[in-house]
A and B are shown apart, each in its own frame.
Chain A
Amino acid sequence: MSRQTCPTEVGTNVIAEIPVFLGERGSKVFACIHRPAGTARGLAVLCSSIGAEWKHNYRREVLLARRLAVNGMAAVRFHYLGTGNSDNGTTDFGQMVCDAQVVEQWAADAVGVPATTYFGARFGGFVAAAAGQSKPLVIWSPRPTGADYFREVFRIAQVNLLAAAGHEDLNVQGPLSELLAGRTAEVVGYNLSTELYRSAAQLTLLGELGAAPRSLRLVEFVGGANSEQAVVGYANLLEDHGFEASTVCFQGDGSWWLNKGRWTAEEERDLVQRSITDTADWLLAFLPGGSQ
């Protein structure tokens, strides 16, 4: 099947965007590579989150990939098997890491340079930490453990169920009960499989980061001083383990699961532009010769 390239204008520049299905029949993974107009001097692999977070952050990751490509760093994004446009399949943590590594290898071959950096958003931070091995890494809204991550998700699911009280079937079990019973859980209309939960509930970000030293940028979108203190405290912990961790916090973004009402284009939102600029600048500094 032919591959279509989209010449995309970003400001006064034009980059090439090529969406593909990778892999064997029945287990194809959707990926899209964003190539600079000239020779790529580096490659970033972007690892998304899951469920509503995947949708919430999708456009931002596209915009980040375009910003990187304009500045000489190719970027590749993808959908984990069993999610998005990819084929059906078991989505567990090991498979997600494998998907990232397969996509990285394909993209590196396509642009002729090895991957230089990784990016992960929320749950994707665990994937990027594991798949990117020692490569510099930005994580948006990192969580120290899989348990921390799922605790938030379950709380959101319960809030959503309670909000529907009087309109819905209140006999519906919470997601954790469903998962413990070996059934796929439902979180705000998204499936959460037992395979993913079982494979990720015991994860620690520290454990997935591999051996220090490794350069890290932790980006948090905070609703109050406590969350800022939490990410700074976590960065300090990582520093104690030999990692080079810096942080930046941006005020206000709400829950990535319950954010339904914003109609303002992401391109026109100050928060989005500032967070993309910070992340892109940090990643581009790892290009040979720096960002310029």
Chain B
Amino acid sequence: MNGPRVDAHHEEPLFLAAGDDRIFGVLTSPSREPSGLGVLLLAGGVYVLNTNKNRMFVDMARLLGGAGHYVLRIDYRGVGESTGTIGGYALDDPNPLDVRSAMHRLLGTGVQKLVLVGTCYGARAAMHVAAEDPELAGMILFAPPIGDLDRGEAPTADRIGPLFVDRLGKLAHRRIPTSLIYGVDDAYYHDFQQAKNGPLAELFQPGSPLSVTTLPGKAHGLERVATQQAFTDFAVRFCSLRADRVQG
């Protein structure tokens, strides 16, 4: 995506206290008048770093910084530069201390509102922790699994996770603009489609703040650069709209 972007001159590597551990992160500061919006980027599981695949989050953070937003991306405990040991990437306990610590740090920059952007496990971490946060202005959930157990597969209605339903329900009822993004060939999308036509149907009635965007092919895993670019473009546009609401 073209547009103003900051460089590493506007970035600060830092460590955040989270329980007994220190969480590594990179804080990107805006290069122009701050928009009032802070954006937290949460990567997926299995040792995905704060940079995300092909440093997609670095590119995204620098574009968002160029648009006037503060941005923070973190390594979960036990990942990358952070201390500690990662657990089993449990979807029912997705590193909440780490996420809260990062949200606290972002709010410390003086921003009024937060947008959380998460990929896969990071999407579940975002909604798990922030669905009820009073400062939340929006959420982008990229390929979130909808089950709460194992790797979140939910091919049948009885496997849909109560936590996933609970958090999505809270976002809907609070009217938080929330975008779910899947690839049309993602296994998680097939699970989600069935749930959306069944138990989740009520949350997606006309006028719902929840929306679904699909990308070609398989998006989960971000294994195509075109998918990474489409997601980055989407996130920048989404945050721009949220910032307009903060300023308005």
Contacts and interface: CB of A to CB of B under 8 A. Distances in A.
B11 A21 contact: yes
B218 interface: yes
Contact of A189 (B22, B89, B225): B225
Contacts, number: 109
A17 B13 contact: no
B8 A8 contact: no
A129 B57 CA distance: 31
Contact of A168 (B22, B58, B224, B228): B224
B78 interface: yes
Nearest to A32: B81
Nearest to A54: B49
Contacts of A189: 53-54, 221-225, 227-228
Contacts of B14: 4, 19
B37 to A, nearest CB: 22
B224 to A, nearest CB: 6
A278 interface: no
Contacts of A186: 224-225
B51 interface: yes
Interface string A7-40: 1110000000101110001101010100000000
Contact of A84 (B47, B58, B86, B227): B58
Interface string B201-236: 000000000000000011001111101100000000
A265 interface: yes
Contacts of A58: 47, 49, 80
Contacts of B48: 55
Contacts of A21: 8-9, 11, 13
A159 to B, nearest CB: 12
B223 A55 contact: no
Interface string B78-100: 11110101111100000000000
B26 interface: yes
A251 interface: no
B185 A167 contact: yes
Interface in B142-183: none
A248 interface: no
B78 A6 contact: no
Nearest to B88: A263
A86 B54 contact: no
Size class of the B contact interface (CB-based, 8 Å): 35 or more
A167 B217 contact: yes
B62 to A, nearest CB: 8
Interface residues of A, number: 45
A55 B222 CA distance: 14
A59 B79 contact: yes
B24 interface: yes
B9 A26 contact: yes
A87 B24 CA distance: 18
A265 B86 contact: yes
Pick from A6, A17, A261 the residue with the most CB of B within 10 Å.
A6
Contacts of A20: 13
A206 interface: no
A268 B228 CA distance: 32
Interface in A174-216: 186, 188-191
Nearest to B73: A85
Nearest to B52: A55
A265 B218 contact: no
Contact of B83 (A9, A88, A190, A261): A9
Given A4-B13, A86-B8, A168 B217 contact: yes
A4 B49 CA distance: 20
B7 interface: yes
Given A85-B26, A190-B54, A263-B88, A167 B218 contact: yes
A8 B83 contact: yes
Contacts of B46: 260-263
B238 interface: no
A225 interface: no
A21 B58 CA distance: 14
Contact of B89 (A9, A260, A263): A263
Contacts of A87: 7-8
Interface of B: 7-9, 11-15, 22, 24, 26, 45-51, 53-55, 58, 78-81, 83, 85-89, 185, 217-218, 221-225, 227-228
Given A168-B217, A189-B228, 6 more contacts: A21-B8, A59-B47, A85-B11, A85-B55, A189-B224, A265-B87
21 contacts: A7-B22, A19-B13, A19-B24, A20-B13, A21-B9, A26-B7, A32-B81, A56-B47, A83-B55, A85-B50, A87-B8, A160-B223, A164-B217, A164-B223, A168-B217, A188-B223, A189-B53, A190-B53, A191-B225, A262-B46, A263-B45
The 6 closest A-B pairs by CB, nearest first: A19-B13, A28-B8, A189-B223, A6-B15, A167-B185, A25-B9
